[in-house]
Structures are given as structure tokens and as C-alpha cells.
Amino acid sequence: MSDEEREEKELDLTTPEVVTKYKSAAEIVNRALQLVISECKPKAKIVDICKKGDAFIREQTGNMYKNVKRKIERGVAFPTCVSVNNTVCHFSPLASDEAVLEEGDMIKIDMGCHIDCFIAIVAHTHVLQEGPVMGRAADVIAAANTAAEVALRLVKPGRKNKDVTDAIQKVAAAYDCKIVEGVLSHQLKQFVIDGNKVVLSVSSPETRVDDAEFEENEVYAIDIVTSTGDGKPKLLDERQTTIYKRAVDRNYHLKMKASRFIFSGISQKFPIMPFSTRALEEKRARLGLVECVNHDLLQPYPVLHEKPGKSLDQLCLQNVKSTNSEFVLASLL
């Protein structure tokens, strides 16, 4: 067996070491999620909660694989986001942001961790109140939970991505809710958080993906967002966008010095995984990011919003199907 063949085999999901790395990342991100939930209290600053989630992941992953010959990359795979009420996703504010949580808020938390670039992603909705959740808020939570359970049963060899899309929409309709458009569930691979095999949340003329069949030895992050509104989120303010991912397949000679400086730092610190601009020098980042985005060197993760007064619930679970076993990695279900 050649070195190249041996390396390829080692990275296959049938290799116990690879499964261990996925499970280790999932264990850390699940504990990070529990920490973030415990920090969700009235008047708590959202940015402080996001920082604590990321810091926990960095600390825990930093304690692993210290004494190995080959350097093992590890850390945050997706910055901690705390999106409140009608904010759908990706809210991870800058240090200067003063937004706080309030009693009764419906809080959507999502975050990710990786070990050797094997990624575990999780999302969960927490309602900041004592006692049971009632009314339409309860409906939207039940819709997301049931849709996620149905999706997990359908992500198995021989089934197709469109089977999941159709099924979760039927589940949401049973609760008089909508699946939110534009939310994608991706296959995950080492180094790849948004693989080519994709499950649409909602089929529409504006969003199309190739038909795909699930196979053994694949990992998927199943992302479900339900709404009591029309399920058509909008971008209200581009300035809220703080999460980006470097487009590894794009090249462009940037004109502005600030842009080159920022992009050089991003390429060194965050060559593969999404990152928060909190990690950059804020003033220079504002100057340099625009040119990078305009020339597709960075992929933005925009902060989207439903109509005010509507309830939203988000769940993201990770399904692993190997030749020998099937299990859910990151989940509070």
C-alpha cells in the first residue's frame, strides 16, 4: 500500500480514529452548548455569551492531541451564534454591540467544533422563561423537533435528499408552521463544512440543488428551522454580518492595502473554517472586508430575520452512517 493510499484509508469513516475525532468534537460542542444555555439570563450581553462559547471550545480542544508527531488542527468550526426571537441565524455580534437578552426571549444557539478538521455542528433553541412554553411558541418547537427526528430516519443509504425536503415540510404543515427557506443541510467531510451533497429546507425556483442519494460512510449536519411566519427571511442590515468563510478556490489581487492586510491574516488564522470578525482588528476589518466580499474571496453568513412577532425554532443534528454503525453526534434531542 502506498503512502497516498494509506493516508486516504486513514481518513475514511470506517477508520476508528476518524470516528473518535468526530465523537470528541461532538462531545466538546455539546458541553459548550450546555455552557451557553446556562449563560442565557435576562440582561446578559449576547456578545459575552458568544465569546464564552468560543473560548470553551478553544480551551477544550487545546487540551487534546498535544503530544503527537503531526500537528492536529483543532478549535472552533463555526463561531457561537445567539439569535433572538425573529432573528433567524448567524447573530454573533462585535464587542461594541450592547444587545442583551430579556425574559421571554426565544434564543437560537448554533456553534461548531472540529478535531483535525472533522467537524461537529449543533443548534438548539432555548426559551428564557420559567415554566412550560405554550401556544404558537410550543407549536414551532414541536414542529422542529419532530421534523428533525423524521429527517434523521430518512438520512440513510438508498434514500434521496428530496425525500427529506418533502417530509419535513409535511411535518411543519401539521403544526401550522413553515420550514424556513434558504436553510441548507450539508454533507460534512474533513476540512469541508459545506459539502456538495445538500438537503434543501424548502424547494423553490430560486434555490435548486442536484438530486443526491445518501450513502454509507457519510456525515450530514441536518439543520431545521421552523417558523410561525411565512418562512421567507430577509436580510435587513448587512452591517450585522460578522461571520465569513474564506473561499479556498478563489483568487484575486486586492487593490486596497487594508484589504490585503486583513485577507493575509484571515488566510493564516482561518484558512478553512468560518470565523467571526471579532477575531480581527475591528477598524481595519471594516475597511478591508468589503473588497474581499465583493470579489468573492470571502463567503458571508448573513444575519436573516423573519417578520417581527413571529416565533422561530432551530435544531441542528449530526448524523453519521458508517458501514458498522449509525449514530447521532451533536444533539440535545
Domains defined for the chain, CATH in brackets: 11-241+302-328 (3.90.230.10), 243-294 (1.10.10.10)
Torsion of CA 150, 152, 153, 158, to 10 degrees: 120
Q: Grid coordinates standing for 132?
A: 412550560
Per-residue pLDDT of the chain (333 residues; tens, 9 = 90+): 344 443 444 476 888 899 999 999 999 999 999 999 999 999 999 999 999 999 999 999 999 988 888 889 999 999 999 999 999 999 999 999 999 999 999 999 999 999 999 999 999 999 999 999 999 999 999 999 999 999 999 999 999 999 999 999 999 999 999 999 999 999 999 999 999 999 999 987 777 889 999 999 999 999 999 999 999 999 999 999 999 999 999 999 999 999 999 999 999 999 999 999 998 877 777 789 999 999 999 999 999 999 999 999 998 887 776 655 555 665 555
Give the whole-angstrom CA distance, residue 310 versus residue 130: 20
Q: Residue 117, exposed/middle/buried by CB under 10 A (0-12, 13-18, 19+)?
A: buried
Please give the pLDDT value at position 282.
72
Give the whole-angstrom CA distance, residue 329 versus residue 112: 12
Give the whole-angstrom CA distance, residue 254 versus residue 123: 35
Please give the pLDDT value at position 332.
54
Give the whole-angstrom CA distance, residue 248 versus residue 236: 28
Q: Grid coordinates standing for 260?
A: 490585503
Q: Which helix (H) or strand (E) holds 6?
A: helix 3-10
Please give the pLDDT value at position 205.
75
Q: Which helix (H) or strand (E) holds 51?
A: helix 46-62
The DSSP code for 252 is: -
CA–CA–CA angle 179, 314, 28 (5° rounding): 145
Q: Grid coordinates standing for 333?
A: 434531542
